[in-house]
Chains A and B, each alone.
Chain A
């Protein structure tokens, strides 16, 4: 007579994050949060300050064109944001032992795209608020909290209520988080990331266009 205890054994094999360590994902994701703060909040405040003090009008009356003002104002923050990403990635890998399986190129391209979106958003906020207090409050609601809670950083998007999931598509950090996960854990290249990269490109074009449009309008 055979043994009377037929049973099942589950052999679970985890890919990409073999020890299932939550830090492997949380630590690189912090880069997205830091960039949102630098990109949207600090930028919108510096530009809103120029409006508040009336120095924006002075800038505009010089021969500098609107586009030059935008670009000139944003480049230092772009550099700062990229530098912060590099610092975050270095700390993640050297200090927290997070794997880095993708390429630095993918990380740079992805971060550059995300920063463009987030800087554009910051600029846009400052143009329509023209006031530092309002810019900071709108920046918190429109950029920081969504990046933290709706991007997949703290809570997985697939688990959110079905009504909230569509909202996450307008959170730029959502796409950047996918890129970060891929670069650190999956090791997939830009090819597999065509979707999120394309979304960021479209987003960047749209937001820069909108920012420029409302900037021109506010000058009239």
Chain B
């Protein structure tokens, strides 16, 4: 049995690395994607393109607007002189935000009243708009505090030192600078692995069927189970290799910390790959042509990525969808990836995810083996 398995493994490895294209597509795309997507994937909001319209022309309004020029969060592109200029700027996507100061701004402040600041936002990108409003509010509150303090100092210098100053200090754990790149780089590893493993496995079997070599293999002494192991083992090894390469690239290039245990990561990866291979095989038993195999892999992979928590947190999904996410191995693997990279936790915290992936792996592989026998008859 070992000998037969060895033969089929040799055959599969030859298939995998035989031609230049295949070697290329196994190694280069994962690294390239890691680099490009590592730089593209961010939910941080900086350099918000801004225009300002100051109709008050006071020292206060100028000081207030200067605070927007001073921070890298905003980039003031245009200084307007009339309200009629606003629609064209936003329609042509030149700016995302227009800050407008009405006449009488300074006067209201001097009287100790509330002065309005008008912010007009392009809401087509809701995330940027929401975060921008948060920043504007922060700057406004800060400015008002400083203004009060300065004013109190002028009116009654003796009281100024007692003026209370409250600053809320937030201290996030695990990702102290809240870098979203740290959050996404491990996620990119998981998505890449899911897509490539499922399509490659599904293709490997369907291709033999399409060309007609699967029948030839079946008349050899090789048993179906051996064939399945022989077909999937190479992809497991390739997947593990990819994770190592991409994880090293991620930590060295993007300086994402790796705080956990490498063995825990590799163990989790093996379990994840097993369930991905099971799904790939299951797909292959349902398809006759590579085109079908691809469509079906895609039909699985696209929602699996969406529902995994890669881009949108699972907690904020509708309840019914949250239940579906339990069938998605990527959902569990992302927790393992982020746990080992960012939190440095080990098996004691990650065992539920490991268990879930084991169950999914056993389930899909059993189903695939059963269907595989049937599809040969």
Contact = CB atoms under 8 A, between A and B. Distances in A.
Given A6-B109, A14-B121, A133 B22 contact: yes
A132 B311 contact: no
Contacts of A4: 112, 148, 151-152
A16 B123 contact: yes
Given A18-B123, A159-B128, A10 B140 contact: yes
A220 interface: no
Interface in B134-153: 136-137, 140-141, 143-144, 147-148, 151-152
Contact of A164 (B36, B92, B289): B36
Given A15-B122, A17-B126, A141-B29, A8 B143 contact: yes
A167 interface: yes
Given A3-B112, A6-B144, A15-B120, A33 B133 contact: no
B128 A5 contact: no
B39 interface: yes
Contacts of B311: 154
A129 B21 contact: yes
B345 interface: no
A161 B152 contact: no
Interface string A1-29: 01111111111111111101110110000
A155 interface: yes
Given A8-B143, A41-B298, A160 B42 contact: yes
Contacts of B127: 22, 156
Most buried by A among B93, B124, B128, B136: B124
Contacts of B195: 140
Contact of B40 (A149, A181, A186): A149
Given A25-B125, A164-B40, A133 B203 contact: yes
Given A8-B140, A8-B143, A149-B40, A14 B129 contact: yes
Contacts of A5: 112, 148
Chain A interface residue number, banded: 35 or more
Interface stretch (B45-53, B169-177, B274-282): B45-53
A145 interface: yes
Contacts of A160: 39-40, 42
A134 B122 CA distance: 42
Interface string A120-139: 00000000010111101110
Interface string B108-126: 1111111111111111111
Interface string B239-253: 000000000000000
Contact of B126 (A22, A37, A41, A129): A22
Interface residues of B, number: 73
B73 to A, nearest CB: 11
A20 B129 contact: yes
Contacts of B136: 10, 12
A12 to B, nearest CB: 4
Contact of A25 (B120, B126, B140): B126
A45 B291 contact: yes
26 contacts: A6-B108, A6-B147, A7-B115, A8-B116, A8-B117, A10-B116, A10-B140, A12-B120, A13-B119, A14-B121, A17-B129, A22-B126, A24-B126, A25-B124, A25-B125, A129-B21, A132-B291, A136-B199, A136-B290, A149-B37, A149-B41, A155-B42, A156-B128, A158-B96, A186-B124, A192-B91
Given A2-B111, A8-B143, 12 more contacts: A6-B147, A9-B116, A9-B117, A12-B120, A13-B119, A14-B123, A49-B289, A133-B200, A136-B290, A160-B42, A188-B91, A192-B92
Interface of A: 2-18, 20-22, 24-25, 33, 37, 41-42, 45-46, 49, 129, 131-134, 136-138, 140-141, 145, 149-150, 154-156, 158-161, 163-164, 167, 178, 181, 185-186, 188, 192
- Nearest 10 A/B pairs, CB to CB: A17-B123, A14-B123, A3-B112, A161-B39, A2-B112, A8-B140, A137-B25, A164-B39, A132-B290, A141-B29
